[in-house]
Structure 1
Amino acid sequence: MSRAVILGAAAAAIAVASGASGWYLTYQGRQQLAIATPAAADTAAAPIYYRDPDGKPFYSLTPKKAPDGRDYVAVPAGADISFEPKAAPEPAATAEGPRKIKYYRNPMGLPDTSPVPKKDSMGMDYIAVYEGDDSDDGSVKLTPGKIQRTGVKSETASPRVIRTVIRAPGTIQLDERRISVIAMRAESFVQRVADVTTGTFVRKGQRLMEIYSSAVASAAAEYITTMMSPTTGRVEQYGRGSRQRLKNLDVPDAVIAGIEQTRTVPLSVEWSAPRDGIVLERNAIDGMRAQPGDVLFRVADTSVVWAMVDVAERDLGLVAVGQKVAVKARSFPGREFAGTIAVIYPQINRDTRTARVRVELANADLVLLPDMYVDAEINVGRSDAVLAVPESAVLDTGTRQSVLVDKGRGRFEPREVKIGQRGDGYIEVRDGLADGEPVVVAANFLIDAESNLKAALKGLATGGQP
C-alpha cells in the first residue's frame, strides 16, 4: 500500500474521531483522502466509511445504526465524498404539489417555535410543521401509530332514553293526619280498662274503657228531660242544646244513641276506638282520676305512612310533587314499596345540605314501622329519547363542556356542547352535536392536551412570524 493511501486513511480516522469539530474533516485530511481514492479504487472494493442515512454530517469507520434503527450508508472508494453539511431533505410532494413548512416547534412540547431549523438545548432538532397539518379549524391530527398507542376509541352520538335515578336515605314516619287522641274534656274516673295495651291493633268502635263523669251524667239527664217534655217547641228549642252538650263532652255517638233509645242516664260510659289502628300510647289505669285534657289513649292508623327522605341540594331541582318513588326497606331486602312525592319541605339543612321530601306509601300489611330506615329511588328521567353520548366523551372544565369529534383519517375537532341530564353512563347533548357524529370516548384527554398545545404554538408562531 502506498504512503499516500496510508496518510489518507489516517487523516480520515483523525477527522472522524475528533471531538471538537466532529462533523467535518480537516482540509489536509480531505486532500490526502482525495489523493488516495483513485489508487484505492483499483485494489479495494470494501467501503472506506459509513455516513448518516439522512445525509446529516455524522460518519463512522465501522457499520452503525441511526437512532431510529436504520443502517448507516456505506461509502465505497471512488464515491463522491463531500464533507460539507447537507441541506435538510425536501418535504415529500403531494397531489397538490410540494408541501411547505410553516414553522418549527420545540420537540419536547414547550411553547417555543422558530421560523428556521433549530436545535434545543439538548441537541434535538425542532419538528417541522407543514401546511395542512396545522389547519385553521382548531382540529388536531394524529398519526395512525399514535392513535393505536394511546388507545383512542370513538362512539356515535345517538338518541337514547336516559334513566336518571336519585337515591336518598330516609325513615318511616306516621301520617300525622291519621293519629287520634282520646282525652277527657271533663273530670272523670276510669272504672275499667279493656284488655288493650300499647302496640295492640284495634278496630274502629272497639271498647277501650269505661268511665264515669258527673258532667256527662248531668248532660244526659238534661237531654232526657228535654226529650220527655210535652211541649214540642220546648223540645226543639232546648233539645238541640242538650244533645250538643253531650257532643261537646266528646261522648261517643253510640252512647248518645243509647240514651235516646232507653231514655235513661248511664252510670258509666263506654269509650271506644275512633279509628282502625295501632295503640301507640295507653295511660288509662283502672280507678284512676282523669283531669280535663289528660291523654288516656293514642291510636294511629298505619295503613298509610310517610317516608321522610333527605334529598341532596344539587338534586333538588329535578324533584317535583307527584313523582313516583320506589322505597326499599332494609328489613325486607328485595321488596319495593310504591309511593308518591306529596310535599317538598321549603327548608335546607345547613349541616347536611339536604332537603326533606315527604313520600306517601301504602302499608296494607302494616310491615313498615315508625323510624324504620329506608332507601328511596326517585326516577327523574324523561320517557322520550334524547341525543346522548357516553359520559367519558364529555370534557368538563367547570365553565364549559366539550367533546372531540372524530372527523376521520386521524383528525379530531374539539367542539363545545351544551349538556342536559345524566344517567346510565350517558349524558344528554342539547346543542353542538348532530345525530350520527362520532365522538372520542377513550384517550380524549390526551387529544385535548395536544389540541391546547397546538393552539398555543399556533398563537406563538403567528406572533413570531415576520
Structure 2
Amino acid sequence: MNQITPIRAFDRADQQGRRRKSAVKRIAPIILVPAALAALAVGFRLGQEGWPLPAWVPAPVASVIGGSAPTPTGPIAYYRDPTGKPFYAAAPKKTEDGRDYRPVPVGEDVSFEEKPKDTAAEGSAGAGGKRILYYRNPMGLPDTSPVPKKDSMGMDYLPVYEGEAEDGSTVKISPGRLQRTGVRSEIVERRVVTRPVRVPGTIKLDERRIAVISLRSEGFVEKVENVTTGDRVRMGQSLFRLYSPEIAAASAQYLSVVNEGGSTGIRPLVLEGARRRLENLNVPPEVISEIERTRKVPTTITWSAPREGVVLERNAIEGARAMPGDVLFRIADISTLWVLADVPEHDLGAVRPGQTVTIRLRSLPGQVFQGKIGLIYPQLNPETRTARVRIEIANPSGLLLPDMYADVEVATGADKPVVAVPDSALIDTGTRQVVIIDKGEGRFEPREVKVGDRGAGFVEIRDGVVQGDQVVVSANFLIDAESNLKAALQSMAASTEEKAQ
C-alpha cells in the first residue's frame, strides 16, 4: 500500500487552491455584470424621474443618466426636458437642478408609421374618446366579443365604436383601408344608353315592288323586244307584241259601240260595259285609248312594263302560245329592299319598329348602310327561338342584291339621356340590384335600385339614385359584404338584448 508523503500532499493542496481561484475568476463576471447593469438601470430610472443619483454611480454613467448626450449634428428643431417631462424650449436651457435640456434634431421626432393602439389599456374607450361597443371577427365571420380577442390565426378582433352602428346600412372605412382596397367613386350623370344587338340577316326583295305580266286569255306571242333577264326597264317600255282572238273580238265590239254612240246617242251604260270587258282581259289602258283614237281594231297588242325595275324572269318566246295565267315577265323594283334578320328571344324585348339599324355586307367590306325596322313578325321560330324582323333599306345605287348575307346591328335603348351608372357600379345578385353610394369622409351606403336598359358599359337606373350622386365603381363588393356583415351583427346584438330582457 502506497503512502502519501508530505511533499506530495502539499503539492496536491496547492493545485486545489489554484483551481478554486480560477473558478472564482470565471464566475465573478457572470455575477458582477448583471449586478452592474441592474445598478445602471436603477440609476437611469432615478435620473429620469428627477431624483438625485447615488454617490456610488460613476461620473461617465451619471452624465448619460442625467441627460447629457453627445452633441447632435445637423439643425436642431427644439430642446426638451432631460427627465422626459412635457417641457420644451426653443433655445438651450437648464433644469432647476442644473441639467441641460436635450437637443432634438430636425426630423428625429417625426414618424410616418401608425403606432398600434393598446386596446387592452383603452378598455371600453377608443380613439377620440368613443366607447367601444364590441369587437368583431377580422375575417368577417359572425362572431363578436365584448373584450379584445384574437382569432385562431392570431389576428386581433376589430373594435366597433359607438356611433358607427347608428345606421345599419352605412359603413365607415378609414382612409388607409380605402387606399389599400382600391375603392374608387364616380359621379352619376345622364347619358344615352344604347346596347347593340348584332344578328345575321339576308337581303330580300320588297314584296310590294314586284310586278308580274301574265295573260287572262289565250294568245300567241308575235314579237319579243330585246329585253332579257337582269336588264333594267323603264315604266311603259315595250316588252312584247301579242295576238289574242278573244281580245280582238272584245276590241271590235268596243269599237262598234263607240262608233254607234256618236250617231245614235247610245247610252253610257252600254259603252261602259264594252270598255269593262277589255279591262277584264287585262288590255293596257293605252291600247284602249288607241282604239278610241284611231277607230281601228289592232291585230296585235303591244304589252309594256308596268313599273321601273329589273327583269327577274322572262318566259315570253316569239311564236309561243300563251295560256291564261302564264307568267311572261316578272319585274322588280330594287330601289328599296328588305333585310330579314332573326333576333333571339332574349333580345326581342329591346327591339321595336322604327329603330335605326346599321347593316354591313360581307361582299362589300368597309361600307355601311342604314335602315329602319319596319315590322316584327308576330311569330317565333320554335326550333331556333328567334323572331324575324323586317328592315327597310334604300338601294339607290343598286349595290345591294337579293339574297346577299348581311350583318345587322340594332341600336337598342333610349334615344334620350337617362340617369346611368357604369356597369361595375351595379351589384346584381339575381334577386336584387344594389349600388354603393359614397357619402364622403369614408362613409358608404348600399342602396337598392331599379335598372333599365344596358349598353356601352352603362346601365340605366330608373329608381334609387339621382344625377349628382357618387357611386362606388371599384371594390364595391367588399363594401357590400362589410355592410351585410354589419347588419347581421346588429341583428344578433338586438336579439341578444331582447333575450336578456
Q: Give the TM-score of the pair, scaled to structure 1.
A: 0.75
Q: Does 1:393 align with 2:425?
A: yes
- Equivalent position to 1:305, from 337, 342, 346: 337
- Taking structure 1 as reference, are residues 44 and 393 closer, same or farther at Cα in structure 2, changes over 3 Å only? closer
Cross-structure match for 1:271 = 303
- Partner secondary structure for residue 283 of structure 2: coil
- Report the Cα distance in structure 1 between the residues aligned to 2:269 and 2:151, rounded to whole angstroms: 114
Tell me which amino acid in the other structure corresponds to 2:218: E
- Report the Cα distance in structure 1 between the residues aligned to 2:485 and 2:160, rounded to whole angstroms: 13
Cross-structure match for 1:101 = 132
Q: CA deviation at 1:321?
A: 3.2
Cross-structure match for 1:457 = 489
Q: CA deviation at 1:305?
A: 1.6
- Report the Cα distance in structure 2 between the residues aligned to 1:381 and 1:309, rounded to whole angstroms: 19
- Report the Cα distance in structure 2 between the residues aligned to 1:39 and 1:375, rounded to whole angstroms: 93
Q: Is the 8 A contact 1:112 1:460 kept in 2?
A: no
Alignment of 1:213-232 (within 5 A): 213-229=244-260, 231-232=263-264
Q: Is the 8 A contact 2:257 2:271 kept in 1?
A: yes
- Report the Cα distance in structure 2 between the residues aligned to 1:154 and 1:226, rounded to whole angstroms: 91
- Equivalent position to 1:292, from 305, 308, 324: 324
Q: Is the 8 A contact 1:199 1:280 kept in 2?
A: yes
Q: Which moved more, 1:183-192 or 1:332-341?
A: 332-341
Q: CA deviation at 1:280?
A: 1.0
Cross-structure match for 1:242 = 274
- Report the Cα distance in structure 1 between the residues aligned to 2:209 and 2:467, rounded to whole angstroms: 53
Q: Does 1:41 align with 2:38?
A: yes
Q: CA deviation at 1:275?
A: 0.7
Q: Per-residue displacement from partner, 1:240-285 (whole Å, max 9, x unpaired)?
A: 3222212111112222222223333322222211110111111222
Q: Is the 8 A contact 1:414 1:448 kept in 2?
A: yes
- Equivalent position to 2:371, from 332, 339, 355: 339
- Equivalent position to 1:202, from 210, 233, 239: 233
- Taking structure 1 as reference, are residues 159 and 240 closer, same or farther at Cα in structure 2, changes over 3 Å only? closer
Q: Does 1:438 align with 2:435?
A: no
- Report the Cα distance in structure 1 between the residues aligned to 2:201 and 2:448, rounded to whole angstroms: 39
- Report the Cα distance in structure 2 between the residues aligned to 1:165 and 1:363, rounded to whole angstroms: 23
Cross-structure match for 1:170 = 201
Q: Is the 8 A contact 1:393 1:439 kept in 2?
A: yes
Q: Which moved more, 1:364-373 or 1:164-173?
A: 164-173
Q: Is the 8 A contact 1:226 1:235 kept in 2?
A: no
- Taking structure 1 as reference, are residues 427 and 108 closer, same or farther at Cα in structure 2, changes over 3 Å only? closer
Unaligned 5+ runs, structure 2 = 1-22, 45-117
CA RMSD across the alignment: 3.3
User: Larger Rg: 1 or 2?
Assistant: 2
Tell me which amino acid in the other structure corresponds to 2:340: M
Q: Is the 8 A contact 1:278 1:299 kept in 2?
A: yes
- Report the Cα distance in structure 2 between the residues aligned to 1:45 and 1:288, rounded to whole angstroms: 135
Q: Which moved more, 1:325-334 or 1:210-219?
A: 325-334
- Taking structure 1 as reference, are residues 461 and 114 closer, same or farther at Cα in structure 2, changes over 3 Å only? farther
More helix by share: 2
Cross-structure match for 1:356 = 388
Cross-structure match for 2:176 = 145
Alignment of 1:181-192 (within 5 A): 181-192=212-223
Cross-structure match for 1:129 = 160
Q: CA deviation at 1:179?
A: 0.9
Cross-structure match for 1:19 = none
How many positions carry a matched residue from both structures?
Answer: 396
| Identical aligned residues as a percent | 56
Q: Per-residue displacement from partner, 1:302-349 (whole Å, max 9, x unpaired)?
A: 112222233343444444433444433333344443433332222223
- Equivalent position to 1:413, from 436, 440, 445: 445
Cross-structure match for 2:313 = 281
Tell me which amino acid in the other structure corresponds to 1:215: E
Q: Per-residue displacement from partner, 1:398-439 (whole Å, max 9, x unpaired)?
A: 222111111222221111122233333222323222332211
Q: Give the TM-score of the pair, scaled to structure 2.
A: 0.70
Cross-structure match for 1:404 = 436
- Report the Cα distance in structure 2 between the residues aligned to 1:438 and 1:246, rounded to whole angstroms: 79
